[in-house]
Chains A and B, each alone.
Chain A
Amino acid sequence: MKRVAYPQMGNLGISVKSFLWELGAEPIEPSPISKRTMDLGVQNAPEFACLPLKVNLGNHLESIEKGAEYLLMAGGIGPCRFGYYGEVQREILQDLQKDAEMIVIEPNIFSIYWSFNYLHGGFVSPLRLYRILKFAMKKMKAIDDLERITQYLRPRAKKPQQVNLRYQKYLKLLDQAASEDRIKELKAEGIERLQELNNPEVKDVVHVGIVGEIYQVLEPYVSLNIEEKLGEMGVQVHRELFLSHWVMDHILKRVDRSSYINAATPYLGAMIGGHGQETVGQAVLYAREGLDGVIQLAPFTCMPEIVAESILPVVSEREQIPILSLFFDEHSGEAGVQTRIEAFVDLIKRRSERSVLA
């Protein structure tokens, strides 16, 4: 069996792990991102690359220590630098004389099919692959559904930390789930157990939409657990970016993008790479849906998000919605983020008090 490692991004690992098992490879779980992961990545990566390159390089290095022989990495077709990170990491690891083979999965069916056959070490029938993928996808969806409920409940529970604990517990159980029935059962049970924490007395919940670059949005470590922090301040977080949504959109091409493209067009009429146009379009949509504010999350030096950032003030003015942009790198401090989001939530609360009085 090939010993295969994969980088850490939110809850992606749970689905990838069960996918690899089913495929007949041995998954090497990445160590949870820590200061050490960051340090390893930052030391060996070019300084002006964005966080995903550094963090994932750190993941690879730690996984090699744990005995990984193969490293999975996502590719891309730009115009965002991320698509090239797999190749850059391959070169860096070669320079470091690390003995592991990098497998870059490009977002097209052939590359995916070829890579999976290679990992399996022989021919996998398309039908079998379909079944395996369907199973992994079920897990991914169940996790995303639980996460949405967690976002809803954090501001509405007596103790938001309790919600986080229960959510983590069901993530662990889903990680071990080995059949579709078990996933279904766990999802229903998890939703019920989370709902128990709902406190119907909580009334004034603030609604904030999260937009931005996918890695920054999905990996809580690099954005300093911003969703948990907002939840504790009485904010319900909304976002469109979920792993299952991304797979449906980019791999299975099943998502209708017209709504956000239409919304973005008066402000940004072209696809500029990454999630730049989605960020602008989604901010407009959130304003029209009546959310109280929007927060943009992006890694420092991210080109598409920088373009979006300079457009968002116009969106904020015309669509009448407060927008906060936060950029992160390895130097980002907890205190700075806390101060900004606290001030942002204050801004929203005082604004709505005023509109009630008027």
Chain B
Amino acid sequence: MRGYLGIDVGSVSTNIVFTNEQMEVLDSLYIRTQGRPIDAVQRGMAQMYDKDGDLQILGVGTTGSGRHLIGAMVGADCIKNEITAHAVAASHLNPEVRTVLEIGGQDSKIILLRQGIVVDFAMNTVCAAGTGSFLDQQASRLGIPIEKFGELALQSQNPVRIAGRCSVFAESDMIHKQQMGHNTSDIIAGLCAALVRNYLNNVGKGKNIQEPVTFQGGVAANVGIRQAFEDALKVQVIVPEHYNVMGAIGCALLAREEVHNGEKSSKFKGFEMLDMEFQASSFECDGCPNHCEVINFKQNGKLIARWGARCPRWEVG
């Protein structure tokens, strides 16, 4: 099978997709990064390879906070930031889309597009309230599986008001409401509304949100949050089929663009990479007062890339 590989290495999850040449998603994986991105990607790719031994990769793209590391490891044709990747994927699926809401593990963003071009974007800056990690944490505190969280919120008849400004305050407010005797579904529905309010006031502040609106990222699985968005924005919110791997789809698309639909050969290192040993280590350069933290990246003990330096001193020859 010939096709493209997209890898999105995020803080919480690592997502890998394999698409055919028509960019239909044939396989997608959602793995917990657990602080070891190299390991997560190797595990994921091994799973994919086990399923289909004659995958032929025409191009690879990486995105997410680990994009440079993993890009060097797999030999990516295209290393892109997650905003561009998400926007590309959203407008590929629906060329009309004008607003992308994305909530992932530790960040949330809004992207505005007009005629398929990103015209504005914003990311959460100093606050992680309302991202996936917080929802995860609250679900486990209440003993509710995260998958059931949204459905439970939809059952609520009378959502309570939760202070969503900050995740610490939100948690104490939730505990307060629970001790007052409110039932769990009302509290959860209140939390969903509070998180959406917080998102729209922080990330979405001053942004002109127009339809069609798509909602992607891991949190889009939560129907409670989706409903809260629809109530707050008074528009229909579309959740695409592959909502949780849209970043990976975006960088697969960008990789295809980079290799000109397969005319240019890919830099992909091949699945032999799964048996190789990759090692990243860092040191502080003492050549000047900048004290750059330089990263050494080794493949089977051989140095293949270095980054983090602000001068050419540590360039790999």
Contact = CB atoms under 8 A, between A and B. Distances in A.
B312 A343 contact: no
B281 interface: no
A327 interface: yes
A108 B96 CA distance: 58
Nearest to A327: B125
Contacts of B55: none
A335 B119 contact: no
Nearest to A346: B84
A contacts with B: majority SS: helix
Nearest to B84: A346
Contacts of A164: 310-311
B126 A354 contact: no
Interface string B60-103: 00000100000000000000111110000000000000000000
A335 B65 contact: yes
A331 B126 contact: yes
Interface string A314-358: 001100001000010101000110111011101100110010000
A159 interface: yes
Interface string A143-169: 000000000000000010110110010
Interface in B105-124: 115, 117-121, 123
A31 B289 CA distance: 9
Interface size class of A (residues with CB under 8 A): 20 to 34
A292 interface: no
Interface of B: 65, 80-84, 115, 117-121, 123, 125-126, 205-208, 288-291, 310-312
Given A340-B123, A346-B81, 20 more contacts: A31-B289, A34-B289, A225-B310, A313-B207, A316-B120, A322-B120, A327-B125, A327-B126, A335-B65, A339-B83, A342-B80, A342-B81, A343-B81, A343-B82, A343-B118, A346-B80, A347-B118, A350-B117, A350-B118, A351-B118
29 contacts: A31-B289, A34-B289, A34-B291, A161-B312, A168-B288, A300-B126, A310-B206, A313-B206, A317-B208, A322-B119, A327-B125, A329-B126, A335-B65, A338-B81, A339-B82, A339-B83, A339-B123, A340-B81, A340-B83, A340-B123, A342-B80, A343-B121, A346-B81, A346-B83, A346-B84, A347-B84, A347-B117, A347-B119, A347-B121
Closest 6 CB pairs of A and B: A343-B83, A32-B289, A342-B81, A313-B206, A346-B84, A347-B118
